[in-house]
């Protein structure tokens, strides 16, 4: 377990208590932030005992499959929010946040960049914590939400790349077409995964604003409203990308259909060109006693000439029609 504790009063002086009991005592007079990474059940329960947290909320903080939510308990509010990360695949890291009148407790299983950035902010500007735990909560949420925008930019680049592949796919091989389809469905799956993570956050922050949680002071409400506005923008962008991806899929199917039509035109033209010489050869191959020009001295060459002229005429016609 990694445990970091910070305390700050109205004087703006940052302290770092060494244990939970000292931190809980300081929270009576100062603002305290306890950050705990990857605690065991016993360690989480120790934190809960020190700050009088309900056992059910402590139990929930150890469950990594929680949906974003806001629960009210006597003396504090319990929030679950997520950080979305993108390496080779998308991942969502759960952050459990206990927000009281003079304290904020964050519990998470994995290292989180938002936590580190907010810790750096508090160390450089202790008054962020000194003004109230709700300001630290806002800083954390703001970092988590703003961290989603680069991922959406990455999605936009992927969509643009797929569109370029589609319009360059004339005559593409089966492997190339399969790669395009695979890219579309992977991106669609990633967008759906981000949407499933982000959409509940919008409801959670809206509940936090509409309920007027007692631990969110009136001065801090505009900051949380700004986070909510960012979430609305993100969800709108996700919906836009999903619609754009659906249009991209339709465009791909249209291009494939046009390519198929072009191939069918070529095959039809080639078949017609071959059919005329075959027809002439078939006529002169019939078993009748009398066929005009059958015994002519130059009949064979005349038949070849007719075949060549007919094939050339059809080739010219289809070329003018742009079937070949």
Q: What is the DSSP string of 27-87?
A: TTTSEEEEEEES--HHHHHHHHHHTT--HHHHHHHT-TTPPSEEEEETTEEEEEEEEEEES
Mean pLDDT across the chain: 86
Assess whether pLDDT exceeds 80 at residue 65.
yes
- Paired residues of 257 in beta bridges: none
From residue 117, how far is each of 91, 108, 110, 173, 290 by CA, in Å? 19, 15, 15, 47, 99
- 1-131: CATH topology is Beta Polymerase; domain 2 (3.30.460)
Pick the residue with more confidence: 34 or 257?
34
Assess whether pLDDT exceeds 70 at residue 30.
yes
Instruction: Report the alpha-carbon angle 177-178-183, nearest 5.
Output: 100
Cβ–Cβ under 8 Å, residues 46 and 66: no
Assess whether pLDDT exceeds 80 at residue 298.
no
Residue extents of the structural domains in the chain = 1-131, 260-320
From residue 37, how far is each of 7, 240, 282 by CA, in Å? 18, 36, 86
- Residue-wise pLDDT for 236-253, tens only, equals 999 999 888 888 888 788
- Residue-wise pLDDT for 197-243, tens only, equals 888 898 889 888 887 777 888 888 899 999 999 999 999 999 999 88
At 23, the pLDDT band (50, 70, 90 cuts) reads confident
Half-sphere exposure at residue 75, Cβ-oriented, CA atoms within 13 angstroms: 10
Q: Find the helix packing angle between 299-320 and 221-283, rounded to 10°.
A: 160
- Residue-wise pLDDT for 129-156, tens only, equals 888 888 999 999 999 999 899 999 988 8
Half-sphere exposure at residue 12, Cβ-oriented, CA atoms within 13 angstroms: 4
Assess whether pLDDT exceeds 70 at residue 294.
no
**May I ask the CATH architecture of the domain 260-320?**
Up-down Bundle (1.20)
72: which residues sit within 8 A by CB, 6+ positions away? 78, 211, 213
Q: Over pLDDT 70: what percentage of the chain?
A: 96
Instruction: Report the alpha-carbon angle 276-281-305, nearest 5.
Output: 70
Parallel/antiparallel/unpaired status of strands 31-37 and 103-108: parallel
- Residue-wise pLDDT for 164-197, tens only, equals 887 776 655 667 778 888 888 888 888 888 888 8
Say how far apart CA 98 and CA 106 lie, in whole Å.
6
pLDDT at 108: 93
């Amino acid at each position: 377990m990694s445990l970091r504790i910070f305390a700050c009063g109205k004087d703006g002086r940052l302290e770092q208590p060494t244990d939970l009991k000292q931190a809980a005592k300081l929270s009576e007079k100062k603002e305290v932030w306890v950050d705990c990474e990857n605690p065991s059940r016993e360690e989480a329960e120790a934190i809960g005992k020190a700050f009088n947290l309900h056992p059910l909320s402590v139990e929930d903080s150890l469950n990594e499959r929680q949906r974003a939510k806001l629960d009210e308990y006597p003396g504090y509010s319990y929030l679950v929010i997520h950080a979305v990360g993108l390496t080779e695949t998308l991942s969502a890291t759960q952050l459990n946040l206990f927000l009281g009148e003079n304290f904020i407790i964050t519990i998470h299983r994995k290292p989180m960049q938002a936590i580190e950035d907010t810790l750096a902010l508090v160390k450089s500007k202790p008054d962020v914590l000194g003004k109230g735990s709700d300001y630290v909560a806002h800083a954390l949420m703001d970092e988590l939400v703003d961290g989603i925008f680069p991922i959406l930019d990455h999605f936009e680049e992927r969509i643009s790349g797929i569109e370029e592949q589609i319009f360059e796919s004339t005559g593409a091989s089966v492997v190339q077409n399969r790669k395009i389809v695979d890219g579309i469905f992977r991106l669609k799956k990633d967008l759906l995964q981000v949407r499933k993570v982000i959409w509940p956050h919008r409801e959670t922050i809206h509940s936090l604003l509409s309920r007027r949680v007692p631990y969110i002071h009136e001065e801090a409400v505009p900051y949380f409203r700004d986070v909510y506005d960012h979430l609305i923008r993100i969800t709108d962008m996700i919906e836009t990308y999903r619609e754009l991806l659906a249009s991209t899929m339709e465009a791909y199917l249209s291009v494939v259909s046009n390519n198929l039509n072009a191939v069918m035109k070529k095959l039809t033209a080639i078949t017609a060109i071959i059919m005329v010489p075959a027809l002439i050869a078939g006529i002169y191959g019939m078993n009748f006693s009398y066929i005009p020009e059958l015994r002519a001295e130059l009949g064979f060459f005349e038949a070849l000439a007719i075949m060549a002229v007919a094939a050339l005429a059809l080739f010219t016609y289809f070329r003018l029609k742009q079937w070949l």
